[in-house]
Amino acid sequence: MTNPAPRSRTLRSDIVFTFALALGLALAWYVRNVLLLIYVSALFAVVLMPIVQAIMKLRIGKWGPNRGVAILVLFLLAGGFVTLFIVFALPPVIHDMKQFVNELPERGPQLLARIRRLPLMQRVDLSSLNAKIQDFATNFATYILLSAKQWASKLFDLITGIVLTVYFMVEGEKAYHWLLSFFPVDMRQRLDQTLVRAEARMSKWLIGQGILMLILGVSSTIVYVALHVRYAYALGVLMGLFNIIPIAGAVVTVSLSLMVAAIDSWGRVAGVAIFYLIYAQVETSYLTPRIMRSSVDLPGLAVIVALLLGAAMDGVRGALVAVPTAVLVAVLLDEYAVNDEPVISGPKPLDEVEELHS
């Protein structure tokens, strides 16, 4: 007669595991914002580590910076760039933003009047939109005050993310090896090599994206100033900053630039549209292949799907990390899921040929 104790013990273990898994998933959903902040910080630590390692290779005589000093140098350089931006680039941007807010009650109806003159737009009722523009312009200070709590929360998340990124850069290697220890020894080396390849591609994405942001921001500012588009400096800075979100960022900023240009003349609208169409062709056919494709190597469809999923999960922040996350997923799929063995189509066996003829 068999002993039913092992089966009962196995069933009890399965039930406990199921409840523990459900409890873990519920807890993860409850703290999903914190988990996402940790993930974004770890991701930025990964893409910034090659820069830290490059700083560590510098030598002044016999002295070389350790990891802590290299991280400090990196953040001092970043702080220097931010300071230069605040001193030289931010004042005209703030001036343009103030002018935009002050002129919105007057310019908004002018823009709607121009839109109403377009074909097929006479039948559209734009009075409600005009009322909303007037209400926004009148109560702009109230909107800023009511959103102060939300801005304070975002600022706290930003500071927390920077602190977490520093900790991941200092102690991330220990945490990384601790996570690898959960995998069997025979799988550990393969996974380690795969993640190292993903880290290299993700780091190159950040550098390439930064170059593309700088090129678009500078070129759009020059063109807007030449076309005498209102708020040229603010629009140029927004074009560069929002370009960190591929496709979606450009759509938002170009739409805003076209609306601002439409306040004055359709000629400026045409100039902005022609500029961006030319730039999009140059970026797609020359800049992106040279700067990005050799390192990231993601198809356009994968980028769009990643952006949609990232934006649906966490808005701008989700879209921001969507592409490097897609790179990580692509490397893991290439290593563990994609079968690269070629399909060999040789001659069919004789019995199959006879069966086809019959």
267 found inside a domain: yes
Residues 191, 241, single domain; the answer is yes
Question: Which pLDDT score, from 0 to 100, does residue 274 have?
Answer: 92
> Is 240 a domain residue?
yes
Note whether residue 177 is domain-resident.
Answer: yes
Q: Give dist(CA 125, CA 137) in Å, integer.
A: 20
Among candidate residues 125, 155, 182, the one where a domain is terminated? 182
Q: Examine the domain organization and report whether 278 and 170 are in the same domain.
A: no
Q: Are 167 and 190 within one domain?
A: no
- pLDDT of the residue at 250: 76
8 A C-beta contact, residue 186 and residue 194:
no
Same-domain check for residues 248 and 323:
yes
pTM: 0.64
For the chain, how many structural domains are there in total? Answer: 2
Q: Specify which residues 337 forms β-bridges with.
A: none
Whole-angstrom CA distances from 222 to 9, 171, 252 are 73, 43, 19
Clarify whether residues 212 and 316 are in a common domain. Answer: yes
Shared domain for 236 and 257, answered yes or no, is yes
Residue where a domain terminates, one of 182, 199, 231: 182
Residue 24 lies inside a defined structural domain of this protein: no
In a domain, residue 2? The reply is no
Same domain (yes/no): 228, 319 = yes
pLDDT at residue 353, as a whole number: 43
131 part of a folded domain:
no
- Specify whether 57 is located in the same domain as 189: no
Number of H helices, E strands in the chain: 15, 0
Q: Are 176 and 207 part of one and the same domain?
A: no
Q: In this structure, are 81 and 223 located in the same domain?
A: no
Q: Which domain holds residue 273?
A: 184-338
Per-residue tens of pLDDT for the chain, all 358 residues = 455 555 555 777 777 778 887 888 888 888 888 888 888 888 888 878 888 888 888 888 788 888 888 888 888 888 888 787 777 767 776 776 677 667 666 666 666 666 666 655 555 555 565 555 555 555 555 555 555 556 667 778 888 888 888 888 888 888 888 888 888 888 888 888 888 888 878 877 777 778 888 888 889 989 988 988 887 887 888 888 888 776 667 777 888 888 888 777 788 888 999 998 888 888 777 776 666 665 567 776 777 777 778 777 777 677 777 878 888 888 888 888 776 555 454 554 545 545 544 4
On the CB side of 291, how many CA atoms lie within 13 Å of its CA? 18
Tell me, letter by letter, the H, E, C secondary structure of the chain: CCCCHHHHHHHHHHHHHHHHHHHHHHHHHHCHHHHHHHHHHHHHHHHHHHHHHHHHCCCECCECCCHHHHHHHHHHHHHHHHHHHHHHHHHHHHHHHHHHHHHHHHHHHHHHHHHHCCCCCCCCCCHHHHHHHHHHHHCHHHHHHHCHHHHHHHHHHHHHHHHHHHHHHHHHHHHHHHHHCCCCHHHHHHHHHHHHHHHHHHHHHHHHHHHHHHHHHHHHHHHHHHCCCCCHHHHHHHHHHHCCCCCHHHHHHHHHHHHHHHCCCHHHHHHHHHHHHHHHHHHHHHHHHHHHHCCCCCCHHHHHHHHHHHHHHHHHHHHHCHHHHHHHHHHHHHHHCCCCCCCCCCCCCHHHHHHHHC
Looking at the structure, do residues 145 and 195 belong to the same domain, yes or no?
A: no
Domain-located, residue 135: no
| Position 16 in a domain | no
Residues 255 and 159 in one domain: no
